[in-house]
Amino acid sequence: MTEYADILYAVKDRVATITLNRPDKLNAWTAAMETSVKRAIADAAARDDVRAIVITGAGRGFCAGADMGLLQSITPKGERPQPRDDAAKVNVPTSPYGPSLEGHYKSRFGYLFSVGKPIIAAINGPCAGIGLVFTLFCDLRFASHEARFTTAFAQRGLIAEHGISWLLPRLTGSANALDVLLSARKFSAEEAERIGLVNRTFAHEAFIENVSAYVRQLAETVSPRSMAVMKEQVWKSWFQDFNEALHIADAEMQKSFGSEDFREGVAHFVEKRAPKFTGR
């Protein structure tokens, strides 16, 4: 059985939940945490009984950014006294369906886009720096009304790292991205929703219940195969023109017609019963 440091990992009702688990440090990011998250993602990606993945934080925070001890250990040349972590050695299974994303997202967290299951960031509290970057590689972001956000980099003498300068403007627009990057100011969950950084916000008291209800709907009522293909289509489309995206869609639709999930999708609708999708 795999052991995890600085996170909790559980699978229940077809949903894998990864909880960043350093609540006394607002779940500040460590090398051990990064490796553990990647190992947990690899496990969830490989399991047929997992349909969706949720990532959240223990206690009152999501992730306060990089652990200050880690930042203090960096030399003027950017060197660390030890290798960053073992995350690069972890092999995460990629989706067997849809267009390949190979070569497109080589960032530290780019592997999340190639996982053929929806990954949801459940941002329950403060979310800063590398914690915020990590959420941008998730497919969906939900936030508690008590969540607060900051890019933080400019106030640490750093720059927009790990592809956030490319991802953030595509979600929020360039003006909003520059605002939160240059100022490094703190902003609310409501503003994050308004500028498109998060999909939806919920009252803190009902946050987990609302996120769980959404994820159950994914796990129980829609085709895992369809989700995998559509996820690949969307993340691939940022490198395509319309005609290329249309060509792939036409090809993937033909493959869908031959799938078990298509036959089940028609059958459960006609028979007026709950679906029993296999993901094949």
First to last CA, the chain: 27
For residue 111, the 8-state DSSP code is G
21 and 81: one domain?
Answer: yes
Residues 52 and 160 in one domain: yes
What's residue 86's pLDDT?
82
Give residue for tokens 């395509």: 240
Mean pLDDT value across the chain: 93
Q: Is residue 276 part of a domain?
A: no
46-88: per-residue pLDDT in tens? 999 999 999 999 999 999 999 876 654 555 655 554 545 588 8
Q: Do 52 and 97 sit in the same domain of this protein?
A: yes
Q: In this structure, is residue 117 part of a structural domain?
A: yes
102 and 159 fall within a common domain: yes
Q: What's this model's pTM, rounded to 2 decimal places?
A: 0.93
Tell me what the mean pLDDT of segment 20-38 comes to: 96
The range of the structural domain enclosing residue 122 comes to 7-218
Confidence of residue 2 (pLDDT cuts 50, 70, 90): confident
CATH of the domain at 24: 3.90.226.10
Model pLDDT for residues 185-226, shown as the tens digit of each residue: 999 999 999 999 999 999 999 999 999 999 999 999 999 999
Give the tokens for residue 95: 């989706």
Angstrom distance (rounded) from CA 276 to CA 187: 42
**Are 108 and 231 in the same domain?**
no
- How many domains does the chain divide into? 2
The reply to whether 177 and 239 lie within a common domain is: no
Same structural domain, 137 and 260: no
Amino acid at 197: L
